[in-house]
Amino acid sequence: MRATPDFDFALGESALMIRDTVARFADERIAPLAAKVDAEDWFPRDLWPEMGALGLHGMTVEEEWGGIGLGYLEHVIAVEEVSRASASVGLSYGAHSNLCVNQIRRWGTDAQKARYLPGLISGEQVGSLAMSEVGAGSDVVGMKLKAESVSGGFQLNGTKFWITNGTCADTLVVYAKTGEGSKGITAFLIEKGMAGFSIGQKIDKMGMRGSPTCELVFDDCFVPEENVMGPLHGGVGVLMSGLDYERVVLSGLQLGIMQACLDTVIPYLRERKQFGKPIGAFQLMQAKVADMYVALQSARAYVYAVARACDAGQTTRFDAAGAILLASENAFRVSGEAVQALGGAGYTKDWPVERYLRDAKLLDIGAGTNEIRRMLIGRELIGAV
């Protein structure tokens, strides 16, 4: 149950229906698993078909391809509600439904959509996207995974790193070098079980535990020509066009974390007594809750507005970066205040706020660091080269 009143953002009937449906599912099926997911670094794959049955994996996919044909606003809200119950599940869900499914929907051929979307949308399969490498994070063009043209397709050699859902993915969108510079990168569709493709080390993370992150290894991995997604050598365009939507959709993670913080803190302040009265009666604690609430609602307003712009085809790269910048920094601050509000209890594993703090930190770094986001926003606004 939310501890804060609803605010009318004029989201529309579809978005409100999605919020209500996903919130119920998250409360009933995801929230009871959240502590186990974190403590055991466990990915609850059994949830995927259940989420598929609700239409969550094909949010932005047209009905003709098995989706429900809604927009990025509804997708943000779905990620928000899942993440309110478990940000780890929310991260894996966003990586599956947006980074993988939505990219195939936007760039795949009809044959590729027919082959890969049904299993991904139903939740029978898990999807992933692989861009980053040990030496290529913010510097995308610096990637080293090489795709050499051979008879009938390409042969991939190299590694990817920091790959969300990598250990459990059946279908992956993978970027590799097919030439030099920014015009020498191509997107490929990789399947689990392809010869020469394997999982390397699993990464033990501070937060978002249960959303598996790993290394991918390509050793003379043959990929048929029909698995090239988008233009040959046009992978940077595929990648960057998707990054704007990724940033907006993943902002929902931070909204969900902030709501979870308030849902924990407000009842605690009403019940916990010191000096003979609830600590919520003290103005310092009231001010803390006020700041947390305003941080959440201001981030919501910006994220929802940019998601609407995405749906109208009017988003800008700097606003997509700005939305996740505001949401990520607000979420880390709000989760820190949640720990502080609970005092010693907040610093223990007995309460979930320490998990919220660990989880919130990821998106200061992932989907482009806040430093890169600021650089992008400033450069775009000033018009600097």
163-214 tens-digit pLDDT: 999 999 999 999 999 988 778 999 999 999 999 999 999 999 999 999 999 9
Sign for the CA dihedral angle at 342, 346, 352, 357 comes to: positive
Residues 6+ apart with CB under 8 A from 212: 41, 43, 92, 164, 165, 166, 167, 168, 202
Q: What is the pLDDT of residue 136?
A: 66
Cα separation of 104 and 62, whole Å? Answer: 12
What domains are there in the chain, each with its CATH number? 13-126 (1.10.540.10), 129-235 (2.40.110.10), 236-382 (1.20.140.10)
Q: What is the pLDDT of residue 138?
A: 66
Q: How many CB atoms lie within 10 A of CB 225?
A: 12
| Per-residue model confidence as pLDDT tens digits over 351-367 | 999 999 999 999 999 88
The CA-atom distances, in angstroms, between 309 and each of 33, 43, 103, 281, 312 are 34, 33, 18, 41, 5
**Are 83 and 256 spatial neighbours (Cβ–Cβ below 8 Å)?**
yes
What pLDDT, on a 0 to 100 scale, did the predictor assign at position 178?
Answer: 94
Secondary structure (3-state) at 213? strand
Strands 213-224 and 153-164: antiparallel
Instruction: Output the tens digit of pLDDT for each of the chain's 385 residues.
Output: 788 989 999 999 999 999 999 999 999 999 999 999 999 999 999 999 999 999 999 999 999 999 999 999 999 999 999 999 999 999 999 999 999 999 999 999 999 999 999 999 999 999 999 998 887 666 677 789 999 999 999 999 999 999 999 999 999 999 999 988 778 999 999 999 999 999 999 999 999 999 999 999 999 999 999 999 999 999 888 888 888 899 999 999 999 999 999 999 999 999 999 999 999 999 999 999 999 999 999 999 999 999 999 999 998 889 999 999 999 999 999 999 999 999 999 999 999 999 999 999 999 998 889 999 999 999 999 986 5
pLDDT 10s digits, 286-300 = 999 999 999 999 999
What's the pLDDT score for residue 239? 86
Q: What is the C-alpha separation between 245 and 254, in angstroms, rounded? A: 15
Residues composing the chain: 385
Distance in angstroms (rounded) separating the CA atoms of residues 29 and 51: 10
For residues 213 and 202, is the Cβ–Cβ distance under 8 A?
Answer: yes
Give CA angle at 380 (376, 381), nearest 5°.
120
Q: Which positions are annotated as active-site residues?
A: 246
Phi, psi of 155 (to 5 degrees): -115, 120
Distances from the Cα of 377 to the Cα of 11, 79, 115, 368, angstroms: 26, 24, 38, 12
Angle between helices 283-311 and 72-85 (to 10 degrees): 140
Q: How far apart (Å, rounded) are the C-alpha atoms in residues 375 and 366? A: 15
For β-strands 171-177 and 127-130, DSSP reports them as parallel
* Cα 325 to Cα 329: distance, rounded to the nearest angstrom: 6
Contact 108, 62 (CB under 8 A): no
CA gyration radius, the chain = 21
Cα dihedral angle (279, 283, 284, 286), rounded to 10 degrees?
A: 80
* Structure tokens, 11: 């989201």
User: How far is CA 314 from each of CA 157, 304, 320, rounded to the nearest angstrom?
Assistant: 38, 13, 11
Q: pTM for this structure?
A: 0.95
Q: Which secondary-structure segment (H or E) carries 16?
A: helix 13-25
